[in-house]
Amino acid sequence: MIQNILQSYRTSFSGLSRETWLLSVVILINRCGYMAVPFMSMYITQSLHRSIADAGLIITLFGVGSVMGAMVGGYFTDKIGFHPVQAVSLIISGILFTLFGQINDFDKLCALTVILAFFVEAFKPANNTAVASYSTKENLTRSYALNRLATNIGFGFGTSVGGILASINYHLLFWVDGVVYISAGLLIIFLLPSNKKIIQEQKTLIGNAGGLSPWNDVFFIRLIVMVTFYMVAFVLLFRLVPVYWKEELNIGEATIGILIGMNGVIIALFEMVMIQKLGSRKPESYYIIAGILFTAVSYLFLVIPGVTPVIIGAATVFFFTIGEMLTLPYLNTMVMNRASELNRGKYSAAYSLSWAVAQIVGPAAGGYMAEHWGYNILWFALVLLSVGCAFGFRLLFQNVVKMS
The answer, yes or no, to whether residue 2 has pLDDT greater than 70, is no
Confidence of residue 71 (pLDDT cuts 50, 70, 90): confident
Q: Pick the most confident of 61-70, 254-263, 266-275, 290-299.
A: 290-299
Give the rounded percent of residues in the chain with a pLDDT score beyond 70.
Answer: 89
Q: Is residue 7 part of a domain?
A: no
Q: Can you give the pLDDT at residue 13?
A: 65
Confidence of residue 211 (pLDDT cuts 50, 70, 90): low
Between CA 367 and CA 168, with CA 117 as vertex, the angle to 5 degrees is 70
The answer, yes or no, to whether residue 315 has pLDDT greater than 90, is yes
Mean pLDDT for the chain? Answer: 82
Spatial CB neighbours of 281, under 8 Å, sequence gap ≥ 6: none
Q: Is residue 3 part of a domain?
A: no
- The pTM of the full predicted model, rounded to 2 decimals, is 0.73
**CATH classification at residue 28:** 1.20.1250.20
The answer, yes or no, to whether residue 201 has pLDDT greater than 60, is no
What does the alpha-carbon distance between residue 366 and residue 374 come to, in Å, rounded to a whole number?
A: 10
Q: Is residue 273 part of a domain?
A: yes
Residue 315: CB atoms within 10 Å: 17
Q: Can you give the pLDDT at residue 288?
A: 93
What does the alpha-carbon distance between residue 174 and residue 94 come to, in Å, rounded to a whole number?
A: 9
Which of 70-79, 144-153, 196-205 bottoms out in mean pLDDT, i.e. has the lowest?
A: 196-205
Q: Is residue 35 part of a domain?
A: yes
Average pLDDT of the residues in 149-159: 78
Q: Can you give the pLDDT at residue 391?
A: 95
Average pLDDT of the residues in 240-252: 88
Higher pLDDT, 178 or 356: 178
How big is the chain by its Cα radius of gyration, in Å? 20
* Residue type for position 309: P
Q: Is residue 10 part of a domain?
A: no
| Phi and psi, residue 98, nearest 5° | -65, -35
**In 339-374, where does DSSP find H-type helix?**
344-373
| Among the listed residues 198, 235, 314, 219, the one whose alpha carbon sits nearest the alpha carbon of residue 66 | 235
**What are the C-alpha distances in Å from 390 to residues 89, 198, 291, 320, 333?**
34, 37, 9, 14, 18
Q: Is residue 8 part of a domain?
A: no
Average pLDDT of the residues in 186-203: 67
Check: CB of residue 342 under 8 Å from CB of residue 198.
Answer: no
Query: Tens digit of pLDDT for each residue in 90-149?
Result: 999 999 999 988 888 888 888 998 999 899 888 888 888 888 788 777 777 778 778 877
The answer, yes or no, to whether residue 205 has pLDDT greater than 50, is no
What does the alpha-carbon distance between residue 404 and residue 402 come to, in Å, rounded to a whole number?
A: 6
Q: Can you give the pLDDT at residue 373?
A: 93
Q: Is residue 9 part of a domain?
A: no
Higher pLDDT, 236 or 277: 236
Structural domain for 248, as ranges: 15-403
Query: Tens digit of pLDDT for each residue in 4-37?
Result: 655 666 666 677 778 888 888 888 888 877 777 7
Check: CB of residue 333 under 8 Å from CB of residue 140.
Answer: yes
Check: CB of residue 48 under 8 Å from CB of residue 166.
Answer: no
Query: Tens digit of pLDDT for each residue in 215-232?
Result: 888 888 999 999 999 999
Spatial CB neighbours of 135, under 8 Å, sequence gap ≥ 6: 16, 17, 20, 143
Spatial CB neighbours of 111, under 8 Å, sequence gap ≥ 6: none
Q: Can you give the pLDDT at residue 199?
A: 52
Confidence of residue 200 (pLDDT cuts 50, 70, 90): low
What does the alpha-carbon distance between residue 304 and residue 130 come to, in Å, rounded to a whole number?
A: 43
Higher pLDDT, 275 or 65: 65
DSSP line for 230-245: HHHHHHHHHHTHHHHH
Tally of domains within the chain: 1
Spatial CB neighbours of 383, under 8 Å, sequence gap ≥ 6: 296, 299, 300
Residues in the chain: 404
Query: Tens digit of pLDDT for each residue in 325-371?
Result: 999 888 888 887 887 777 777 888 888 788 878 877 887 788 889 88
